[in-house]
Structure 1
Amino acid sequence: MTHTVFRDFFLISLLVVMMVSCSHSSTSEPAEVYLLNQLDVAPDFEGGYNQFIRYLSESIKNAPEGTFDQLEEKIFIDFVIDKEGKVRQISIKTPIPLRAARELKSILENSPVWTPGQLNGQPVASFQTLPIKF
Protein backbone atom coordinates (compact mmCIF):
# COMPACT_ATOMS: atom_id res chain seq x y z
CA MET A 1 0.00 0.00 0.00
CA THR A 2 2.84 2.41 0.75
CA HIS A 3 4.22 1.90 -2.74
CA THR A 4 0.86 2.87 -4.22
CA VAL A 5 0.62 6.01 -2.09
CA PHE A 6 4.22 6.95 -2.94
CA ARG A 7 3.61 6.32 -6.66
CA ASP A 8 0.41 8.41 -6.62
CA PHE A 9 2.18 11.22 -4.74
CA PHE A 10 5.04 11.10 -7.25
CA LEU A 11 2.68 11.20 -10.25
CA ILE A 12 0.68 14.10 -8.79
CA SER A 13 3.91 15.99 -8.02
CA LEU A 14 5.17 15.38 -11.55
CA LEU A 15 1.89 16.62 -12.99
CA VAL A 16 2.06 19.81 -10.89
CA VAL A 17 5.65 20.46 -12.00
CA MET A 18 4.65 19.98 -15.65
CA MET A 19 1.67 22.33 -15.29
CA VAL A 20 3.84 25.02 -13.68
CA SER A 21 6.47 24.62 -16.40
CA CYS A 22 3.87 24.94 -19.14
CA SER A 23 2.31 28.01 -17.59
CA HIS A 24 5.73 29.71 -17.29
CA SER A 25 6.64 28.98 -20.90
CA SER A 26 3.40 30.49 -22.21
CA THR A 27 4.00 33.76 -20.36
CA SER A 28 7.30 34.33 -22.11
CA GLU A 29 5.73 34.85 -25.52
CA PRO A 30 7.87 36.50 -28.17
CA ALA A 31 7.45 40.22 -28.60
CA GLU A 32 4.86 41.28 -31.16
CA VAL A 33 6.31 42.32 -34.50
CA TYR A 34 4.59 45.15 -36.37
CA LEU A 35 4.42 46.00 -40.06
CA LEU A 36 5.65 49.42 -41.14
CA ASN A 37 2.13 50.67 -41.88
CA GLN A 38 1.14 49.89 -38.27
CA LEU A 39 3.83 52.12 -36.74
CA ASP A 40 3.62 55.74 -35.70
CA VAL A 41 7.35 56.15 -36.42
CA ALA A 42 9.28 53.89 -38.80
CA PRO A 43 12.65 52.43 -37.77
CA ASP A 44 15.61 54.47 -38.92
CA PHE A 45 19.19 53.60 -39.75
CA GLU A 46 21.68 56.23 -38.60
CA GLY A 47 22.16 58.47 -41.63
CA GLY A 48 18.98 57.19 -43.29
CA TYR A 49 18.12 54.45 -45.74
CA ASN A 50 20.81 55.53 -48.23
CA GLN A 51 23.45 55.07 -45.52
CA PHE A 52 22.09 51.56 -44.85
CA ILE A 53 22.40 50.74 -48.56
CA ARG A 54 25.95 52.14 -48.50
CA TYR A 55 26.75 49.91 -45.48
CA LEU A 56 25.39 46.86 -47.31
CA SER A 57 27.26 47.68 -50.54
CA GLU A 58 30.57 48.17 -48.76
CA SER A 59 30.12 45.00 -46.70
CA ILE A 60 29.28 42.97 -49.81
CA LYS A 61 32.34 44.38 -51.64
CA ASN A 62 34.54 43.48 -48.65
CA ALA A 63 33.20 39.92 -48.38
CA PRO A 64 35.61 37.05 -49.07
CA GLU A 65 36.43 36.82 -52.77
CA GLY A 66 33.91 34.81 -54.76
CA THR A 67 31.16 34.85 -52.15
CA PHE A 68 28.63 36.67 -54.31
CA ASP A 69 30.10 36.04 -57.78
CA GLN A 70 27.33 33.76 -59.03
CA LEU A 71 24.46 35.99 -57.94
CA GLU A 72 22.83 37.89 -60.76
CA GLU A 73 19.24 38.07 -59.61
CA LYS A 74 17.26 40.14 -57.15
CA ILE A 75 17.27 38.61 -53.66
CA PHE A 76 14.60 39.24 -51.05
CA ILE A 77 15.48 39.18 -47.37
CA ASP A 78 13.02 39.45 -44.50
CA PHE A 79 14.20 40.55 -41.08
CA VAL A 80 13.02 42.13 -37.86
CA ILE A 81 14.41 45.23 -36.22
CA ASP A 82 13.81 44.52 -32.55
CA LYS A 83 12.82 47.14 -30.00
CA GLU A 84 16.52 47.64 -29.13
CA GLY A 85 17.28 48.39 -32.80
CA LYS A 86 19.15 45.15 -33.57
CA VAL A 87 18.55 43.15 -36.74
CA ARG A 88 17.08 39.72 -35.89
CA GLN A 89 15.16 36.83 -37.47
CA ILE A 90 16.84 37.09 -40.86
CA SER A 91 15.27 34.97 -43.57
CA ILE A 92 16.55 34.93 -47.14
CA LYS A 93 13.53 34.27 -49.34
CA THR A 94 15.37 33.73 -52.63
CA PRO A 95 17.39 30.51 -52.95
CA ILE A 96 21.11 31.34 -53.04
CA PRO A 97 24.30 29.38 -52.32
CA LEU A 98 24.87 28.64 -48.63
CA ARG A 99 28.13 30.61 -48.49
CA ALA A 100 26.42 33.74 -49.82
CA ALA A 101 23.44 33.28 -47.48
CA ARG A 102 25.70 32.97 -44.44
CA GLU A 103 27.65 36.08 -45.42
CA LEU A 104 24.48 38.13 -46.00
CA LYS A 105 23.09 37.05 -42.64
CA SER A 106 26.37 37.98 -40.96
CA ILE A 107 26.41 41.39 -42.64
CA LEU A 108 22.88 42.12 -41.46
CA GLU A 109 23.45 40.75 -37.94
CA ASN A 110 26.51 42.97 -37.59
CA SER A 111 24.93 46.12 -38.97
CA PRO A 112 24.96 49.18 -36.76
CA VAL A 113 22.02 49.51 -34.41
CA TRP A 114 18.90 51.12 -35.82
CA THR A 115 16.56 53.51 -34.06
CA PRO A 116 13.61 51.13 -33.56
CA GLY A 117 10.12 51.85 -34.82
CA GLN A 118 7.60 53.30 -32.38
CA LEU A 119 3.98 52.70 -31.60
CA ASN A 120 2.20 54.88 -29.06
CA GLY A 121 5.52 56.43 -28.08
CA GLN A 122 7.13 53.07 -27.25
CA PRO A 123 9.87 51.24 -29.19
CA VAL A 124 8.58 48.07 -30.88
CA ALA A 125 9.89 45.33 -33.14
CA SER A 126 9.11 45.77 -36.82
CA PHE A 127 9.19 43.58 -39.90
CA GLN A 128 11.24 44.59 -42.95
CA THR A 129 11.68 43.19 -46.45
CA LEU A 130 14.84 44.14 -48.30
CA PRO A 131 15.39 43.56 -52.01
CA ILE A 132 19.04 43.40 -53.09
CA LYS A 133 20.03 43.38 -56.76
CA PHE A 134 23.44 41.93 -57.57
Structure 2
Amino acid sequence: YQNGLKQGIWTGRYADGSYVYEEHYDKGVCTLGKSIEAGSDTVRYTVSEQPPQFKGGMSALSKFLGQNLTYPQKAAQMKIQGKVFVNFVINTDGTLEDVFVVQGIGFGCDEEAKRVVSQTQGRWIPGIQRGRPVKVRFVLPINFTLN
Protein backbone atom coordinates (compact mmCIF):
# COMPACT_ATOMS: atom_id res chain seq x y z
CA TYR A 1 0.00 0.00 0.00
CA GLN A 2 1.03 3.57 -0.61
CA ASN A 3 -1.02 6.40 0.92
CA GLY A 4 -3.75 3.86 1.71
CA LEU A 5 -4.05 2.68 -1.92
CA LYS A 6 -2.90 -0.52 -3.58
CA GLN A 7 0.43 0.00 -5.32
CA GLY A 8 2.73 -2.32 -7.23
CA ILE A 9 2.24 -6.03 -7.97
CA TRP A 10 -0.28 -8.05 -5.95
CA THR A 11 -0.55 -11.82 -6.25
CA GLY A 12 -2.89 -14.38 -4.80
CA ARG A 13 -4.19 -17.92 -4.98
CA TYR A 14 -7.75 -19.06 -4.41
CA ALA A 15 -8.20 -21.22 -1.30
CA ASP A 16 -9.13 -24.24 -3.42
CA GLY A 17 -5.96 -23.79 -5.48
CA SER A 18 -8.02 -23.43 -8.66
CA TYR A 19 -6.04 -20.52 -10.00
CA VAL A 20 -3.49 -17.84 -9.31
CA TYR A 21 -3.75 -14.17 -10.16
CA GLU A 22 -1.34 -11.28 -10.47
CA GLU A 23 -2.48 -7.65 -10.52
CA HIS A 24 -0.50 -4.47 -11.18
CA TYR A 25 -1.75 -1.36 -9.36
CA ASP A 26 -0.94 2.31 -9.73
CA LYS A 27 -2.44 4.60 -7.07
CA GLY A 28 -5.20 2.08 -6.28
CA VAL A 29 -6.19 1.42 -9.91
CA CYS A 30 -5.66 -1.99 -11.50
CA THR A 31 -3.69 -1.28 -14.67
CA LEU A 32 -3.21 -4.94 -15.63
CA GLY A 33 -4.20 -8.26 -14.21
CA LYS A 34 -3.87 -11.85 -15.28
CA SER A 35 -5.37 -15.03 -13.93
CA ILE A 36 -3.87 -18.43 -14.56
CA GLU A 37 -6.14 -21.43 -14.15
CA ALA A 38 -4.84 -25.00 -14.23
CA GLY A 39 -5.49 -26.52 -17.65
CA SER A 40 -6.74 -23.23 -19.10
CA ASP A 41 -5.43 -20.17 -20.90
CA THR A 42 -4.12 -17.12 -19.07
CA VAL A 43 -6.73 -14.35 -19.03
CA ARG A 44 -5.69 -10.68 -19.00
CA TYR A 45 -7.93 -7.91 -17.64
CA THR A 46 -7.94 -4.34 -16.33
CA VAL A 47 -11.09 -4.51 -14.17
CA SER A 48 -10.91 -6.92 -11.21
CA GLU A 49 -14.67 -7.31 -10.78
CA GLN A 50 -17.70 -6.48 -12.89
CA PRO A 51 -21.24 -7.12 -11.68
CA PRO A 52 -23.71 -8.91 -13.94
CA GLN A 53 -25.65 -6.67 -16.33
CA PHE A 54 -28.94 -6.90 -18.16
CA LYS A 55 -28.23 -6.80 -21.92
CA GLY A 56 -28.82 -3.20 -22.97
CA GLY A 57 -28.34 -1.84 -19.45
CA MET A 58 -30.70 -0.65 -16.74
CA SER A 59 -32.91 1.29 -19.16
CA ALA A 60 -33.49 -1.90 -21.19
CA LEU A 61 -34.32 -3.78 -17.97
CA SER A 62 -36.79 -1.08 -16.91
CA LYS A 63 -38.40 -1.18 -20.36
CA PHE A 64 -38.63 -4.98 -20.29
CA LEU A 65 -40.25 -4.95 -16.84
CA GLY A 66 -42.68 -2.21 -17.89
CA GLN A 67 -43.74 -4.15 -20.98
CA ASN A 68 -44.04 -7.56 -19.30
CA LEU A 69 -45.24 -6.90 -15.76
CA THR A 70 -48.99 -7.36 -15.26
CA TYR A 71 -50.53 -5.77 -12.17
CA PRO A 72 -52.45 -8.51 -10.35
CA GLN A 73 -56.20 -7.80 -10.40
CA LYS A 74 -56.64 -8.48 -6.68
CA ALA A 75 -53.78 -6.11 -5.79
CA ALA A 76 -55.22 -3.38 -8.02
CA GLN A 77 -58.70 -3.77 -6.52
CA MET A 78 -57.28 -3.49 -3.00
CA LYS A 79 -54.97 -0.61 -4.04
CA ILE A 80 -51.86 -2.54 -2.96
CA GLN A 81 -48.59 -0.82 -3.87
CA GLY A 82 -44.96 -1.40 -2.93
CA LYS A 83 -41.76 -3.24 -3.81
CA VAL A 84 -41.18 -6.95 -4.19
CA PHE A 85 -37.54 -8.03 -3.83
CA VAL A 86 -36.64 -11.01 -6.04
CA ASN A 87 -33.43 -12.95 -5.39
CA PHE A 88 -31.79 -15.07 -8.10
CA VAL A 89 -28.46 -16.41 -9.33
CA ILE A 90 -26.94 -15.34 -12.64
CA ASN A 91 -24.76 -18.23 -13.83
CA THR A 92 -21.46 -18.03 -15.71
CA ASP A 93 -23.33 -18.39 -19.03
CA GLY A 94 -25.88 -15.66 -18.18
CA THR A 95 -28.73 -18.05 -17.39
CA LEU A 96 -30.80 -17.73 -14.21
CA GLU A 97 -31.47 -20.19 -11.42
CA ASP A 98 -32.88 -20.27 -7.90
CA VAL A 99 -35.40 -17.42 -8.42
CA PHE A 100 -37.37 -16.61 -5.26
CA VAL A 101 -39.02 -13.69 -3.46
CA VAL A 102 -37.05 -12.37 -0.49
CA GLN A 103 -39.57 -9.77 0.61
CA GLY A 104 -43.02 -9.39 -0.87
CA ILE A 105 -46.27 -7.50 -0.57
CA GLY A 106 -48.70 -10.31 -1.34
CA PHE A 107 -51.99 -10.18 -3.28
CA GLY A 108 -50.41 -11.85 -6.33
CA CYS A 109 -47.59 -9.31 -6.66
CA ASP A 110 -44.93 -11.73 -5.36
CA GLU A 111 -45.83 -14.40 -7.92
CA GLU A 112 -45.95 -11.82 -10.72
CA ALA A 113 -42.55 -10.39 -9.78
CA LYS A 114 -41.03 -13.89 -9.76
CA ARG A 115 -42.67 -14.68 -13.12
CA VAL A 116 -41.39 -11.54 -14.85
CA VAL A 117 -37.85 -11.96 -13.47
CA SER A 118 -37.86 -15.57 -14.72
CA GLN A 119 -38.73 -14.20 -18.19
CA THR A 120 -35.40 -12.33 -18.26
CA GLN A 121 -33.71 -15.73 -18.77
CA GLY A 122 -30.96 -15.43 -21.40
CA ARG A 123 -30.89 -11.62 -21.24
CA TRP A 124 -28.04 -11.26 -18.73
CA ILE A 125 -24.30 -10.75 -19.15
CA PRO A 126 -22.58 -12.71 -16.34
CA GLY A 127 -20.48 -11.12 -13.63
CA ILE A 128 -16.72 -11.19 -14.14
CA GLN A 129 -14.07 -11.71 -11.48
CA ARG A 130 -10.42 -11.45 -12.45
CA GLY A 131 -11.24 -11.88 -16.12
CA ARG A 132 -13.43 -14.97 -15.73
CA PRO A 133 -17.23 -15.32 -15.59
CA VAL A 134 -18.59 -16.13 -12.11
CA LYS A 135 -21.96 -17.02 -10.56
CA VAL A 136 -23.48 -14.02 -8.79
CA ARG A 137 -26.50 -13.83 -6.48
CA PHE A 138 -28.57 -10.76 -7.34
CA VAL A 139 -31.53 -9.02 -5.68
CA LEU A 140 -33.86 -7.02 -7.93
CA PRO A 141 -36.57 -4.73 -6.55
CA ILE A 142 -39.78 -4.78 -8.60
CA ASN A 143 -42.07 -1.77 -8.11
CA PHE A 144 -45.84 -2.09 -8.10
CA THR A 145 -47.37 1.38 -8.40
CA LEU A 146 -50.93 2.28 -9.35
CA ASN A 147 -51.44 5.26 -11.66
- Structure-1-length-normalised TM-score: 0.58
Name the residue aligned to 1:129.
Answer: 139
> Which of the pair has more CA radius of gyration?
1
1:116 to 95, 118, 126: 126
Kindly provide the CA deviation profile for residues 19-38 of structure 1, in whole angstroms up to 9, marking residues without a partner as x. xxxxxxxxxxxxxxxxxxxx
Give the Cα separation in 2 of the matches to 1:114 and 1:72: 27
Residue 96 of structure 1, CA deviation = 3.3
Residue 101 of structure 1, CA deviation = 2.5
Residue 68 of structure 1, CA deviation = 4.9
Q: Which runs of 5+ in 1 are unaligned?
A: 1-38
Residue 65 of structure 1, CA deviation = 5.8
Q: Is the 8 A contact 1:86 1:114 kept in 2?
A: yes
Residue 99 of structure 1, CA deviation = 3.5
Name the residue aligned to 2:66.
Answer: 57
1:66 to 66, 73, 87: 73
Name the residue aligned to 1:5.
Answer: none
Q: Which runs of 5+ in 2 are unaligned?
A: 1-47
Give the Cα separation in 1 of the matches to 2:71 and 2:141: 21
- Structure-2-length-normalised TM-score: 0.54
Kindly provide the CA deviation profile for residues 50-99 of structure 1, in whole angstroms up to 9, marking residues without a partner as x. 11111111111xx3761652531122222211111122222212233363
SS in 2 for 1:93: strand
Kindly provide the CA deviation profile for residues 85-130 of structure 1, in whole angstroms up to 9, marking residues without a partner as x. 1222222122333633232222111214211011121111112122
In structure 2, relative to structure 1, the CA distance for the partners of 1:56 and 1:67 (3 Å cut) is farther
Q: Is the 8 A contact 1:87 1:113 kept in 2?
A: no
Name the residue aligned to 1:45.
Answer: 54
Q: Is the 8 A contact 2:83 2:104 kept in 1?
A: no
CA-based RMSD: 2.3
Q: Is the 8 A contact 2:86 2:113 kept in 1?
A: no
Tell me which moved more, 89-98 or 107-116: 89-98
Q: Which has the higher strand share?
A: 2
Give the Cα separation in 2 of the matches to 1:122 and 1:133: 32
Give the Cα separation in 1 of the matches to 2:75 and 2:95: 24
In structure 2, relative to structure 1, the CA distance for the partners of 1:48 and 1:89 (3 Å cut) is same
2:86 to 77, 81, 106: 77
Q: Aligned partner of 2:114: which letter? A: K
Q: Which has the higher contact order (CA 8 A, sep 6+)?
A: 1
